[in-house]
A and B are shown apart, each in its own frame.
Chain A
Amino acid sequence: MKLAYWMYAGPAHIGTLRVASSFKNVHAIMHAPLGDDYFNVMRSMLERERDFTPVTASIVDRHVLARGSQEKVVDNISRKDKQERPNLIVLTPTCTSSILQEDLQNFVERASAISDSDIILADVNHYRVNELQAADRTLEQVVRYYLDKARRQGNFNVSLTEKPSANIIGIFTLGFHNQHDCRELKRLLKDLGIEINQVIPEGGFVENLHMLPKAWFNLVPYRETGLMTAKYLEKEFGMSYISTTPMGIVDIANCIRQIQERVNIQYPILLKKKINYETYIDEQTKFISQAAWFSRSIDCQNLTGKKAVVFGDATHAASITKILACEMGIRVSCAGTYCKHDQEWFKEQVQNFCDEIIITDDHTKVGDMIARVEPSAIFGTQMERHIGKRLDIPCGVISSPVHIQNFTLGYRPFLGYEGTNQVADLVYNSFTLGMEDHLLEIFGGHDTKEVITKSLSTDTDLTWNSESLLELNKIPGFVRGKIKRNTEKFARQNGITQITAETMYAAKEALNA
């Protein structure tokens, strides 16, 4: 048992439902007790969905507990089959139903015999994988199912499209800025002269999945979901995939160069010429995206060496860490992720770009880390935003879990060249504006707030004399607490009980040394 107040990633069935309900005309039936269908609430509220979420529950109640589901699940499946005529019904076990150990596969087989829809049982272990891993698995399972089906029916077309084309894998419902990212990726690929073969699962039709192998390559923008599918397609059909997230100028260029490489393997055979995207990258980097210019501008100069902390899912946390460190000259004191299952990759990615790495799914550890580091800004999830509020540190939200505010109506991609602009804005707005900062320092702050008495230091044996208090009040409000703590720490270390202005200066020097 674990005492838990908050979790970064949800339970496994949420991942399955997110994938299932992202496809068009796919219905999910949860084998779950009453009240477990709050996924519908999340989708309806956060995504502001206009359509009914295609998820229903086959309720597990006291009777089911006593006698087993018997006909209930099969009836619910065939009823949904008649009502909605979906292409596919995904029977989704929940943590409750998985310990009942009913033979759900048997229900699926019986229901298949009397339904027109395809029916599969989501193959996910509730106690071993989280939401993101489950989504990854379910997507692979659905793709595998339809490719196997096509192979059986001999209805298979593995010939490549005439023009270079790509599948985008892993865009789905309730994903962090997924809709905007998808639009931006499509635009990027269009600029490169590459057609979109399919985008899955969002808005995709399962009956088209057998045409996935027609694409020249697969693009997996987020590590959390889609990699399993891409690897499966590589193994079965020799399709290569690109998993470099096109976030930040450097990685977009990396990603485009990989695309160029993939396309050039096929191009000479099919189109008898080689392509080169270098001029495109150069043009976009220097003149279309404003981020490169921003990093040279004097605004960004003021951010040099400022401390930041990054936390989120593996994809976003790694990309943002690299952007802050390489593209903006900000010092990332600590970078971390809650995707424990992908920690090797994460560590390798951020190793040289931050002072310290934290891998945890315990938000209190993240909170303690932030309190200890005292960064000028945090880039994290909704949880870190609240930690920031408590500690009076600004926070930019860069990864799920998120609130409804992060399902923006306006166009806010994180990927692609427009994404670089959005990220630059987010980063810049999160730090106290440079000039404001400077002026506050010169004029000793404009606020008349009292010295923060509720500080992290617990000792009360330290006294500040009037002179030192006066000096402390000259320090701008937003760093005053920190200076106070540092001074007290220094005083305690050196056995000083009466703090004078000299002590403050000595503390400052000791810290700088």
Chain B
Amino acid sequence: MSIKISETLTFECETGNYHTFCPISCVAWLYQKIEDSFFLVVGTKTCGYFLQNALGVMIFAEPRYAMAELEEGDISAQLNDYQELKRLCLQIKKDRNPSVIIWIGTCTTEIIKMDLEGMAPKLENEIEIPIVVARANGLDYAFTQGEDTVLAAMAHRCPERSFLNNKKQEIKDNRIKDLFSFRFNEIEEKNTKSQNNLIDKTPLVLFGSLPSTVASQLSLELKRQSINISGWLPAQRYTDLPVLGNGIYVCGVNPFLSRTATTLMRRRKCKLIGAPFPIGPDGTRSWIEEICSVFGVKTQGLEEREKQVWDNLTDYINLVRGKSVFFMGDNLLEISLARFLIRCGMIVYEIGIPYMDKRYQAGELRFLQTTCKKMLIPMPRIVEKPDNYNQIQRMRELQPDLAITGMAHANPLEARGINTKWSVEFTFAQIHGFTNAKDILELVTRPLRRNNNLENLAWTNLVK
């Protein structure tokens, strides 16, 4: 192998010519997660066509998202942005009556400098629905980072913890209408209640959008360690956003949420628990341990729990052990997945990743290092902003047993005899916690199991 593999973590940066989804795709899972929301993507036909094609059948299910499609008059400022958005938002209010409208800014709104942040508060007052603005555009972000921009914007809308001591503030805030202040009273009630038995309510808020079953699985794991979390960002409903503020601890469940983490720390004065992410049984255990150590809780039965999960995975691990894997990189889950797969006995040649926040992912990077040492395998190279063309050349040389890649490259690589797994599936599958470790391996081993079935057919290379 001509490619040097070093002992310490090495970071490289290539040209950034890689394939990934546009960050506006986050509406696909966020609109399902936040049940009373409506996502309005302010962009062009290009954005709309992407959503329509990327989200396939979902589009037919009367989704709670739509395009505000910009026309020539909008671009050349012949039409008044504010009036246009007001017209559309009133229609949305009439048709769907959501609790929040989330405007997704796109490349076009950036370039024509449409002042979404400026217009939102004004319009919010006028139509009496909260409007959250997230700039999830392809100029700045990749794929899952879209969720990061939405959650960071939403973090500003979470009720402030200190308002309990200062009720007048709530009345002063003229943005909060009847319905809303009613909600606040409710929260207040809940909070006074919880203050009575503060012992079993830890000031811990988890951030990251997960399917509700996965969210409750993780909450349950923490509950076993007698940690009762006080809320999730995002919650199932916009009206249930968690209380934030000084003294609240926050912890991320996904590796792509660095902006949200920064916002929570700097703007909401929360304390961030830096931990590896709860992906794979190793990650989950380490995540729980970090949280417990912050609250001075001694963990119970975690080691056995992890071992039991590993034992259940034996069949899968026998399939993947010693096999090599190449991450082309497009969704920022790569470091955590690589760390888990190395622990499963795989060899990782390269971890491509769109963007690497070394501070936010510090816990995960350390864990990757210790895992490599433990498994006695060389450290993989981490390639930020990869160049797909170069990666394909490297892959030709390395001939990995598995390439984790976007859909644009999957079929061509398969035709050249390289097994692939679509990386987007990891974004949509349930991969967090002890319970779902099997699902990750189910995905990873699918091409390998397919090979076992088609082994003797000599049909691997299908290009002329």
Stretch at the interface among A46-54, A314-322, A351-359, A421-429: A46-54
CB pair B412–A49 under 8 Å, yes or no, is yes
**Closest CB of chain B to A58's CB: distance in Å?**
8
CB pair B52–A34 under 8 Å, yes or no, is no
CB pair A50–B463 under 8 Å, yes or no, is yes
CB pair A36–B46 under 8 Å, yes or no, is yes
Contact for B138 among A35, A41, A49, CB less than 8 A? A35
CA distance A10 to B48 in the complex (A): 9
CB pair B412–A41 under 8 Å, yes or no, is no
**A336 at the A/B interface (Cβ < 8 Å)?**
no
With a cutoff of 8 Å between Cβ atoms, the chain B residues found around residue A49 in the complex are 411-412
**A444 at the A/B interface (Cβ < 8 Å)?**
no
CB pair B75–A51 under 8 Å, yes or no, is no
CB pair A51–B463 under 8 Å, yes or no, is yes
CB pair A6–B17 under 8 Å, yes or no, is no
* Contact A2-B415, Cβ < 8 Å, known A44-B410, A50-B463: no
Most chain A Cβ neighbours within 10 Å, of B45, B108, B411, B415 = B45
With a cutoff of 8 Å between Cβ atoms, the chain A residues found around residue B140 in the complex are 61-62
* Contact A96-B111, Cβ < 8 Å, known A35-B143, A41-B406, A48-B411: yes
CA distance A386 to B60 in the complex (A): 7
CA distance A511 to B435 in the complex (A): 61
Residue of B nearest to A45 (CB): B407
CB pair B54–A38 under 8 Å, yes or no, is yes
Contact for B63 among A5, A10, A128, CB less than 8 A? A5
CA distance A50 to B75 in the complex (A): 39
CA distance A362 to B195 in the complex (A): 54
CB pair B91–A3 under 8 Å, yes or no, is yes
With a cutoff of 8 Å between Cβ atoms, the chain B residues found around residue A201 in the complex are none
Contact for B66 among A3, A13, A52, A57, CB less than 8 A? A3
With a cutoff of 8 Å between Cβ atoms, the chain B residues found around residue A5 in the complex are 59, 63, 66-67
Stretch at the interface among B18-26, B207-215, B267-275, B304-312: B18-26
Give the interface SS of chain B, mostly helix, strand, loop or mixed.
helix
**Closest CB of chain B to A45's CB: distance in Å?**
6
The number of chain B residues touching the other chain, given as a range, is 35 or more
* Contact A44-B411, Cβ < 8 Å, known A1-B88, A34-B138, A127-B72: yes
**Closest CB of chain B to A61's CB: distance in Å?**
5
With a cutoff of 8 Å between Cβ atoms, the chain B residues found around residue A403 in the complex are 56
CA distance A48 to B112 in the complex (A): 37
CB pair B16–A61 under 8 Å, yes or no, is yes
Residue of A nearest to B19 (CB): A37
Contact for B49 among A7, A44, A57, CB less than 8 A? A7
CA distance A127 to B72 in the complex (A): 6
With a cutoff of 8 Å between Cβ atoms, the chain B residues found around residue A130 in the complex are 45
CA distance A34 to B145 in the complex (A): 12
CB pair A62–B406 under 8 Å, yes or no, is no
CB pair B59–A56 under 8 Å, yes or no, is no
Contact for B139 among A33, A45, A50, A51, CB less than 8 A? A33
With a cutoff of 8 Å between Cβ atoms, the chain B residues found around residue A57 in the complex are 17
* Contact A38-B50, Cβ < 8 Å, known A49-B411, A50-B463: yes
**B117 at the A/B interface (Cβ < 8 Å)?**
no
**A100 at the A/B interface (Cβ < 8 Å)?**
yes
**A448 at the A/B interface (Cβ < 8 Å)?**
no
Interface readout for B197-214 with A: 1 if CB under 8 Å, 0 if not?
A: 000000000000000000
Interface readout for A4-25 with B: 1 if CB under 8 Å, 0 if not?
A: 1111001101100000000000
CA distance A37 to B409 in the complex (A): 12
CB pair B411–A96 under 8 Å, yes or no, is no
CB pair A1–B85 under 8 Å, yes or no, is yes
**A94 at the A/B interface (Cβ < 8 Å)?**
yes
**Closest CB of chain B to A192's CB: distance in Å?**
31
CB pair A4–B107 under 8 Å, yes or no, is no
Interface readout for A468-482 with B: 1 if CB under 8 Å, 0 if not?
A: 000000000000000
**A275 at the A/B interface (Cβ < 8 Å)?**
no
**Closest CB of chain A to B308's CB: distance in Å?**
39
Query: Among residues 40 to 73 in chain B, which have CB atoms less than 8 Å away from a CB atom of chain A?
Result: 42, 44-46, 48-50, 52-54, 56, 59-60, 63, 66-72
Interface readout for B67-101 with A: 1 if CB under 8 Å, 0 if not?
A: 11111101100010000110110011000000000
CB pair A6–B59 under 8 Å, yes or no, is yes
With a cutoff of 8 Å between Cβ atoms, the chain B residues found around residue A113 in the complex are none
CA distance A38 to B406 in the complex (A): 10
**B284 at the A/B interface (Cβ < 8 Å)?**
no
Most chain A Cβ neighbours within 10 Å, of B17, B70, B71, B406 = B17
CA distance A403 to B46 in the complex (A): 18
With a cutoff of 8 Å between Cβ atoms, the chain A residues found around residue B412 in the complex are 44, 49-53
Residue of A nearest to B18 (CB): A34
With a cutoff of 8 Å between Cβ atoms, the chain B residues found around residue A33 in the complex are 22, 107, 137-139
CA distance A130 to B44 in the complex (A): 12
Residue of B nearest to A10 (CB): B49
**Closest CB of chain B to A96's CB: distance in Å?**
4
With a cutoff of 8 Å between Cβ atoms, the chain A residues found around residue B67 in the complex are 2-5
CA distance A34 to B139 in the complex (A): 6
With a cutoff of 8 Å between Cβ atoms, the chain B residues found around residue A50 in the complex are 411-412, 415, 462-463
CA distance A511 to B112 in the complex (A): 56
With a cutoff of 8 Å between Cβ atoms, the chain B residues found around residue A65 in the complex are 110-111, 139
**B389 at the A/B interface (Cβ < 8 Å)?**
yes
**Closest CB of chain B to A473's CB: distance in Å?**
31
CB pair A35–B44 under 8 Å, yes or no, is no
CB pair A1–B17 under 8 Å, yes or no, is no
With a cutoff of 8 Å between Cβ atoms, the chain A residues found around residue B415 in the complex are 50-51
**A95 at the A/B interface (Cβ < 8 Å)?**
yes
CA distance A35 to B143 in the complex (A): 8
**A189 at the A/B interface (Cβ < 8 Å)?**
no
Contact for A96 among B46, B53, B91, CB less than 8 A? B46
* Contact A44-B70, Cβ < 8 Å, known A5-B63, A11-B44, A34-B22: no
**B142 at the A/B interface (Cβ < 8 Å)?**
yes
**A88 at the A/B interface (Cβ < 8 Å)?**
no
Most chain A Cβ neighbours within 10 Å, of B42, B84, B140 = B140
Query: Among residues 228 to 273 in chain A, which have CB atoms less than 8 Å away from a CB atom of chain B?
Result: none
CA distance A65 to B111 in the complex (A): 8
CB pair A96–B108 under 8 Å, yes or no, is yes
Residue of B nearest to A37 (CB): B19
With a cutoff of 8 Å between Cβ atoms, the chain A residues found around residue B48 in the complex are 4, 7
CA distance A158 to B162 in the complex (A): 84
With a cutoff of 8 Å between Cβ atoms, the chain A residues found around residue B45 in the complex are 7, 10-11, 95, 126, 130
Contact for B407 among A3, A44, A62, A128, CB less than 8 A? A44
**Closest CB of chain A to B214's CB: distance in Å?**
26
CA distance A2 to B111 in the complex (A): 19
**A159 at the A/B interface (Cβ < 8 Å)?**
no
Interface readout for A54-89 with B: 1 if CB under 8 Å, 0 if not?
A: 001101111001000000000010000001000000
**A40 at the A/B interface (Cβ < 8 Å)?**
yes
With a cutoff of 8 Å between Cβ atoms, the chain A residues found around residue B462 in the complex are 50
With a cutoff of 8 Å between Cβ atoms, the chain B residues found around residue A7 in the complex are 45, 48-49, 52
CA distance A132 to B21 in the complex (A): 24
* Contact A61-B74, Cβ < 8 Å, known A44-B412, A49-B411: no
6 contacting pairs across A/B (C-beta < 8 A)? A3-B92, A6-B59, A33-B22, A35-B20, A44-B411, A95-B108
8 closest A-B pairs by CB: A35-B22, A33-B138, A40-B408, A50-B415, A11-B45, A1-B84, A127-B72, A35-B138
Known pairs A35-B20, A35-B24, A99-B111 / 5 extra A-B pairs, C-beta < 8 Å: A1-B68, A3-B88, A11-B45, A51-B412, A99-B112
Spell out A's residues near B (CB within 8 Å).
1-7, 10-11, 13-14, 32-38, 40-42, 44-45, 48-53, 56-57, 59-62, 65, 76, 83, 94-96, 99-100, 126-128, 130, 383, 386, 403
